[in-house]
Copies of this chain bind each other. A is one copy, B any other.
Amino acid sequence: MKKCFQFLLLLISTSLFAVEQPNPVKLKSPDGNLEVSFYLKNGIPYYSLNRKNAVVIKESRLGLILTENQSLDKDFKVADIQESAFNETWKPVLGEVSTIQNHYKSVKISLEETSKLKRRLDVVFKVYNDGLGFRYEFPKQANLQFFVISRELTAFNLTGDHKAFWIPGDYDSNEYHYATSKISEVDAWKQPLISKGKLNKNIPDQYAVQTPLMLKTADGLYINIHEAALVNYPAMQLHVDRSNYSLSANLVPDALGNSAYLRAPGNTPWRTIIVSDKATDILASKMILNLNEPSKLANTSWIKPLKYMGVWWEMQIGKSNWNYTFDVDSLSSTGTLIPQGNHGANTANVKRYIDFASKNGIKGLLVEGWNTGWEEWTGNWKENNFDYVTPYPDFNVEEITEYAKQKGVEMIMHNETGGSATNYDRHLDTAFRFMNKYSYKSVKTGYVGQITPRGEHHDGQWMIEHFVRVAEKAAQYQVMVNMHESVRPTGLNRTYPNWIANEAGRGNEWNAFSDGNTPEHETILPFTRLMGGPMDYTPGIFKLRNYASNAPDRQMHTTLAKQLALYVTMYSPLQMAADLPENYEAHQDAFQFIKDVGVDWDDTKILEAEPGDYITIARKEKGKANWFVGAITDENSRQSVIPLNFLDKGRKYTAIVYKDGKDADWKTNPEAYTIEKRIVTSSTKLKLNLAKGGGAAISLIPVQ
């Protein structure tokens, strides 16, 4: 009761005895290196960000435009300012490290309109040592309850023509090649980013880019702009003013052209700026996770990391098909579907994968194309395309469930929606009940194609709500989720730890059916797509040439050793061994690394990194003393010297080094690798020669 009274007193004091508020409001990070400034100029709110007295973000607008041209961006006065500090550590359920420090200083600036509506808008800044997060909050008030946001004015005015690593602002996809260009050169139509193939392009603004946007200044400062905790709001893209080096928020609209339907009290997601003079700091930052809410799940004991295989790559490369028949109207004289003869998800084939996974200790098995509907699954606005519970006639779900159980393999459910989110929503309970009945503990979802509700986009508010709904519903049924073609993540795996991975970027699969991914692709992804959360990139392809049945010249743009290294450099608690069993059988020695490598970690060291060039990371397996190292390079060969000083002092480790063969080259000789075994300690320095498009993977197991 007493506490309550003091709180009231505090509130009264700030409103009764309002004095002239400081302008600008300034706030420094705990270490003093970063400083955000907020101020009103003629009633219009602005902010800027400095690091060690150098400008990172120049004076930039804040504010929102509501529908019917109502503004929430001017005529403001500062009504109140509340500062606070926060420091705690927390433990992610699955993660790169066992413990995360959440340490920041915060200021809430309460704005009030000077005009007659006197609406209130709060701007909240959280300044971390590694970056700035800020968002808009809408307090409960008489003149603003339900409202619709038309535009967000938030800007990020840069100090120069920085180098940018970017993909175009598609409302429905992140599956592009990354461009590396100056800010002044951003133009979706002038860069070779768009593959022929499966993509429905939807890029209304050729000068807009997706976040996370990775920037590097001429002075060597690394800046990463994204958002955190994207719920109940559309994804933010950035429109690039190429003359002024200014970025401004571009919200993905809905079917009516509006951006967000909100209600006060409420808030936007956090806008994030991570900044450092070391590229490795960007990859090590946990600010986006910290800006998300703690886990909403009371019991998380059922959430486990997972390595898995899939009846999947064989469809990607055209060896078999998802669909059972050619045409849903093709019925035999007895009224049954006529099989097209090349259906991958048949019981015998699935058992073959189960046998292989079981023998090699790969815990999970995904099967795509198991359920009816694949003949007309996407592309025609067909809304009722799947029912999520009816297997094709040659997929015996009872038999497979029983067989997998005997063999100690966990079956992974696949729920492709073809973009028909309304239809999936309607079947969610039924689909999850089916998973519970047949012991599926995780599901891969997919959203290939145009979204239904028609007119909505993958990255609009409606779908953002849908993705969260699926994650929440899955949690009710204790099912882990891996979403493909979803919005790029924003750290929500903290809040929903069962939402263990997303694709939401250009995965390894593009090598199967298109011009593939560039050798530098995987050196950019951790600085962009993965800043928001784990990616189900599906590495581990061993047959690097002659795999695509209809394109004999097609090849991967990595060496085999680099495919191994990706298990460490591309963080995910869900990792696929993506290739066919027969291709692993042909390289059992190299496959040993995939069998050994951890998927959940107590510690992570970003040893070296430069976006677009190289990344080397070491990780310590959760609950064990084992370390694993992955090193990758781009199209250039590279020598990497790795001091193993992260190892326990005085302890001996058996290092198995999987590295590019002497003449390895992603283009001419991708499958050349060597495996070395030696004893190392924390004082060892390992020299690694990475081939063009190459990499190295190392397991470090304490000598017993």
Contact = CB atoms under 8 A, between A and B. Distances in A.
Interface in A232-268: 254-256, 258, 261, 263, 265
Interface stretch (A424-432, A565-573, A651-659): A424-432
Interface stretch (A50-58, A199-207, A354-362, A448-456): A448-456
A453 B329 contact: no
A70 to B, nearest CB: 15
Interface string A133-168: 000000010000110100000000000000000000
A33 interface: no
Contact of A426 (B261, B376, B428, B454): B428
A385 to B, nearest CB: 11
Contacts of A258: 454
A677 interface: no
A429 B148 CA distance: 31
Nearest to A328: B263
Given A382-B263, A429-B429, A429-B430, A454 B422 contact: no
A380 interface: yes
Contacts of A591: none
Interface string A419-449: 0001001101110000000000000000000
B454 A254 contact: yes
A510 interface: no
A403 interface: no
B453 A422 contact: yes
A678 to B, nearest CB: 58
Contacts of A376: 146
Interface string A314-330: 00000000000000010
A284 B429 CA distance: 45
Given A255-B454, A422-B422, A455-B455, A380 B430 contact: no
A456 to B, nearest CB: 7
Contact of A380 (B140, B146, B428): B146
A262 to B, nearest CB: 10
Contacts of A426: 425-426, 428, 469
Nearest to A433: B429
Nearest to A421: B422
Contacts of A381: 146, 148, 261
Contacts of A146: 376, 380-382
Contact of A453 (B148, B263, B454): B454
Interface string A467-478: 001000000000
B329 A140 contact: yes
Contacts of A430: 429
A383 B380 CA distance: 27
Contacts of A265: 329
Identify which of A140, A256, A329, A426 gathers the most chain B CB atoms within 10 Å of its CB.
A426
Nearest to A453: B453
B422 A255 contact: no
A600 to B, nearest CB: 33
A256 to B, nearest CB: 5
Contacts of A455: 254-256, 453-455
Given A256-B454, A329-B140, A454-B453, A263 B425 contact: no
A440 B428 CA distance: 24
A465 to B, nearest CB: 8
A429 B389 CA distance: 15
A455 B254 CA distance: 9
Nearest to A422: B422
Contacts of A456: 453
A326 B579 CA distance: 60
Nearest to A430: B429
Contacts of A462: 453-454
Contacts of A382: 146, 261, 263
A498 to B, nearest CB: 19
A261 to B, nearest CB: 5
A408 to B, nearest CB: 34
Nearest to A148: B381
A422 B454 CA distance: 12
A437 to B, nearest CB: 15
B263 A380 contact: yes
A551 B458 CA distance: 49
A108 to B, nearest CB: 20
Identify which of A265, A376, A429 gathers the most chain B CB atoms within 10 Å of its CB.
A429
A254 to B, nearest CB: 6
A532 B53 CA distance: 75
Contact of A255 (B145, B255, B465): B255
Identify which of A140, A254, A381, A462 gathers the most chain B CB atoms within 10 Å of its CB.
A381
Contacts of A148: 381
A506 B508 CA distance: 59
Contacts of A469: 426
A51 B415 CA distance: 56
A425 B453 CA distance: 13
A292 to B, nearest CB: 21
A358 to B, nearest CB: 36
A126 to B, nearest CB: 25
Nearest to A333: B4
Interface in A538-573: none
A111 to B, nearest CB: 21
22 contacts: A146-B376, A146-B381, A254-B454, A255-B256, A255-B453, A255-B454, A255-B455, A256-B454, A256-B455, A261-B382, A261-B383, A383-B465, A422-B422, A426-B469, A429-B430, A453-B453, A453-B454, A453-B455, A453-B456, A453-B462, A454-B462, A455-B455
Given A261-B383, A453-B455, 4 more contacts: A255-B454, A261-B382, A425-B426, A453-B454
